[in-house]
Amino acid sequence: MKTKLSMLTLAVSCAFAGHAMALTKAQYKTQKESVEAAYKSAKEKCAALNANAKDICRAEAKGAEKVAKAELAAQYKPSPGRDKKVRDAKADAAYDVAREKCDDLDGNPKDVCVKDAKAARVSAKADAKVSKARAEPNNDKATAVVDAKKDASSDKNDVMYKAAKERCDAMSGNAKDACQADAKAKFGMK
């Protein structure tokens, strides 16, 4: 099932990525309807599943739809902002699926899984901000890129520290203290 959904997502993404020129309004409308039909079909296939597998399937289908719509919008009206929205949609889709997969776990492993998923999303979105700053026409592009990199680094560092700290919670005593001290040192926390 996941393979079929992944292939569908890939096919839709490739169809949109293959066009270098902006779409006409008619092409946009046709492809948008195609994306919506693909989502409906993928969602219907999830009905046969049970429990968390169904939730994961739905998250994958919804994520594929959001990414495809963002790619379509970027193709219809290309801009650095729309490219960022595509990257953000991909990050959000991956996060939503990862969060659903974390539901299969309990206790600290689940907490670590959620923190790792959030770290991946924050990292991807931070990278998208940097890419947007690089691509936008700007009189002071160098400063904008440096600022975006600085913000991205700070965002990534904070979320990675939280994930590392969560891993330490599974430990106790001296091992936990050492783990927390290592995490603080690695990520520059005080």
Tokens, residue 186? 């690695």
Report the pLDDT value the prediction gives residue 17, as an integer from 0 to 100. 47
42 vs 56: CA distance, rounded Å? 12
Q: Mean of the per-residue pLDDT values for the chain? A: 86
Taken in order 186, 190, 169, 93, is the CA torsion positive or negative?
negative
pLDDT at 123 over 60: yes
Question: What are the residues whose beta carbons fall under 8 Å from the beta carbon of 175, sequence distance 6 or more?
Answer: none
What is the C-alpha end-to-end distance of the chain, expressed in Å? 46
83 vs 79: CA distance, rounded Å? 6
In percent, the amount of the chain with pLDDT more than 70 equals 89
| pLDDT tens string 65-101 | 999 999 999 999 988 999 999 999 999 999 999 999 9
Q: CB–CB of 72/35 below 8 Å?
A: yes
pLDDT at 136 over 90: no
Q: CB–CB of 130/171 below 8 Å?
A: no
3-state secondary structure of 38: helix
Taking residues 139-148, what's their average pLDDT? Answer: 80
Residue 26: half-sphere exposure toward Cβ, Cα within 13 Å: 0
For 24, the enclosing helix (H) or strand (E) is none
Task: Write down the pTM of the prediction.
Answer: 0.76
Q: CB–CB of 66/92 below 8 Å?
A: yes
Break the chain into its structural domains and give their ranges: 1-77, 105-190
pLDDT band at 23 (very low <50, low <70, confident <90, very high): confident
Tokens, residue 124? 């991807």
pLDDT at 15 over 70: no
